[in-house]
Structure 1
């Protein structure tokens, strides 16, 4: 299609070309500055720079003048402005090539110089330069490809006319015409070679380096233009050397880049004449089977290729999951065969298939028919899981975690209500039968107990017949509670019982009566077993004791110490864990009742004594050699201390009596738990059958994250002092991958509570690590790990240096005092002075106005004998102060001292990592480059 330029851009380009023909240098300089301004740079290329400097030197000078206040530049500006600017820039580049296609493109000055500049800019560290120049270069390259095709067509035409003229007899041959054609052919050959040379230079100089750029937008630009070149000029580009870039990019980590790659391949596979050229690529990268593209048969993808598509039904992207669900449905469900193990994560599978297989998934009549028959244990488990997910999907229409649905229209809401009534009518009489059949299977019954949560439960009140089914359901629930000890089953029963007892239903009194009788029976049974447990032998009781009975053990607070200190307590960890939970829930509900009522002062004091007693028991449990008890005690301690914290009583001053703060010994034990079991590298919890299993490792990590989050909440809400956070801050760098987000949020919250104290806590964390290092090996001072932590902690102070000047000053002063702390008996002279090297990592955050004050404070604290020590000199350089001369030291001694100390860099740069971007602070300038 012929290029249709905008009249406004056409006028601009025409005027510039007219000026270029009159004065090449000045006009080209205008074009250069236009490109520089398009990058968002405020620098200007002067005539002197253009005459005397090379491209690399010009780019270096512009880099120094690139003084941005933010990371944004024109091509990264969000909103409609980005689209307009990008479209205008692309049209300008395309129009420039189009307007010069017959003349100036061959003047050996304009385009070689322009392409050389863009190649240099595309290799810059500054993201704005690299992004803008790559876009312009790729668009110019596309324009050159079109010019190359035009020249090739002209050459073919001229060659054909020349051949025709040569084939004529001598009398009929026009010699002038023949000479003119030969001259034209020679010129076209030269033009073709020149354009080809520029194309090769752009491809090798820009594309080959930028298609794998750190910035995904740049990678997407390169792949998008490559797809255009492949289709425009298949003779030169549609080969394995160019196709390999598409194959590699298919595995790009960013979806936007992969999308451009798929679009490029889609355009190629739509052309049948390209299929032969794509055979090797297809076999190597398994993008598409050529037979499927040509014939459209169902055998286009083999089972191995299909197996790569099936897991997409579990992806979080709704559109992609639905497409994969449609593929799975057409491939297998319609053929009455399903791939194995696709019932895992049934909620995602159901959501992916809901649009295409909704009628089959709503066929609850057939599902219950098979479940009431004998169809195999594995099949029954998978079918029950699938059935419960379909019930939830039909009743609530809530997507699984990580997926989002659009707004429901009125028609969809009506269908949802109809489905809910239909499934309720169907399952009310059948659910008691299903529970009775599978009551012995904990996994299946726990799933079936979820079904009534999605019913229209008010239908139980419609008739006496349905009330009979309610009675049967209550009987089954009570029987399951008495039969099972598994936690998932008991939780499912408790959740269903809570729902049925809701006052919003007219039948709630019936459910209340049944469950009250059940609880009375359990309490009586539990008291009998508990008294016997503490009096007779343990082994005879172990088999008969049910942990399910612990949910009513309100009196267990009085029995704890004898149980925990018994010689055979290890055999009763299940009882202790359940008892810990039970007592914690009792104390939590007691606090809720105290808030909602008006208890007497004596009742409040008694409750606080129970809290104190409970915390002592949990403290004992923290030292037990049993992971389940230890972890449960720590988690419940965090919850209970938070519930009875000073902040919880601010809204109700009358409950100030209930405020409980942990003792020093308890704080110490909780801190020790962090070090020993959360930040520890010990993998003993994953030994045996669990070692090496990724699922168990993820579960263990999640448990540790929950425990760390509980501890951090205690610090944030004032239960523990900010000083207690040092044990957390010390592991910010070492455990960044596992806990970095939690620790970063804790640091941020601590700054909001008390910025100065937070900064001092950061300094204290580093001091503790330094002291631990000296204790372990005083002679081998390896500061690498501590300095890495200091760098990360320095980044947490942000970029608003005025806001953090006071906290930073306090941090530096604390660090200086620590560095020059008087040595104890037997210690070396000033053993902490090396700490100044760590403290120097925070210096780049200081304002210029604060640095002289710190220099004066340093001088007041530093002994005169230490002025020449390397750590002090390094810290002085970080403050921007040269080492003052030392009395009595000659030039030779000074030179020797310099040899012993690493020289500082010419210009100090400090990287601040923030969302994948590194800001380089160079004095008062800030550059934005890629990490």
Structure 2
């Protein structure tokens, strides 16, 4: 970089004015805690200008000729993306060098036009008004009817305009890095204007100015780094060349002072932008603005860690992890990824990691899958980069994600799982080789074998044995070579490695075969690409031929070994469905293996009666008998012979069974036995189905669906009594042992939910008129007793009944209270039931009074129910004074 030469001194009588040094002049402004570079001076002039106290530096006099570049020309070049942006910037800079004021006014109007504002800043406005007044005038000219502006326009136009605007800002700083950035007019004035616009209430002004300010800030950071390197070089040169003559050393010292001044000036501008724009806009209401700030902060942290990579700046990333918008959280996570990728940053991130690790772990379940994917990649970087990594307890929330339906999230979890255990795989192999030395077999030294063993253990411990396809698909991209190592898998299966391990390995192996042969995702998990590329198809065909060549001779051996195990053999029978079966016709040796396969299939059919095994045999038999294969006639012959033998065997045993009279009684006994043994299990389900059927065929349903008129059914009195008895025996039963199982919280919740569903079904019958309101007495009287479990359902039923028939509802409630007749029950009832219908209150009072003064029958005490008046008095505060005479 060529250093600008110092100005020549004039006559001693009139010394030239010195360049004003910007000392730390923000004693009355914001605290230095928000500054990323605490040791550098600040640019207090910017903040004064952004608040309307702008004091302009007089521009240089007009030079011979102006280039006459217009704001519209710059805007057209930025929005179209067709022009070379460097040429546009150079043209404007040439114009600026000839006339600072007019060219700067062009730049201002370009910014205003980029905001979507139709207003124009005139020369008079620029000379006579402060920044705040100019922004206020532009706000009045803004088109408030339209919410769109260039940075909010959807489609490719937005992407093109944003890219052009960012490139313009970056090239402007780059082109001025050696000269105009220090002219004390262009950048102080520009940054002051952007600071004021970023504080505007108009969204378009804030959005556009923040984007420009943050990109300019990034350019300034790069300039600051360049000046710092030049200063270090100059200092080293001064130290080395101490033997120079005094004039030469003075020249070097002057250059060093010049670089110091430039560094302080850039640092001052950076501090001003950080405090004036970033600190306020990183929490802006608009998520796009917050995302811009966080994205650029990540760049600053990585470019200049000496000044930015500290707790004062990292705290903004930590806070933004909790942002309510996923786009902002996504930018924050990506910024952190850039930091954790650098090994030299890990030490400075220790405190941040300890504070926000818990939050990052919880974000793997983020509602936005894209954020969760990036968080998993971030956690992998943390695990690999930090000494302590992530513990097993912390990883326990990540492992289940390999079974999720989202492809990207599952693949990221699979990548984490693979890299988490790859160290243990390598360590295990080294230990085995070291311990057994020359006795180690080739298989034991293979890393793939160790990976398969760990994968089997993980699959067994996850206890999701019906989702092997999802685990394989999650690991396919990162561990494809290990999962295609069918040689190692069959080697394990032909040995004795434990029943659970063998079952899990067979399940995983069949899934890998299917994945390699078909290249389709599991059910519910889409890859996003409907058609495979030519390269992917070629790999698919190669894998299919390789697995067919490997399994044709070994499959009969595997079927023979596991023929007695229904679960394992049903899985192995699926393997040929993914073979290139035409290879059986290539040679006589392979035809022998086909005969062995047919023999094994016939033996399995004769040995097993389980439905999954027989279905797998039938499916494979249909495939082998397809006319598209040349060997189909041989398969037809074998299976026809099998069917003949099975029919003959069936006829032989059937004749014997028909002669046994006990057979019929045995069948009848088997039908009757479940009804008696499983009465308690069947009765609740039957009650729920009964409630649904009675509601479906109720008169109210017939009114809305006339075709059901002939199917209307109302329950008989005996059925109503049985349903009421079910409520007492199962729902409101005093014996709640079924809900007090120790240590079974999930069971308690499940049982309570079932009871709530059954009670809700009964209440619906009352509300829709299938049962009389009187039938609700059996429900209302348990309100206080079962308030915690069913209070909301009973309360809603009472509310609905008041709307249907207030008088009958009041009588039902009063009857329920008469049956309970306890002070505690009526107190709870009055406090929780809102009674606003006068007719309902009067009817309830009348029935209660009649019940209290009911004439005693023979043998009863005089007025035995008079104590009910005390309970009824709990309703007194609900009856207004004006309504009492009506009683």
TM-score (norm 1): 0.47
TM-score for the superposition, normalised by structure 2: 0.49
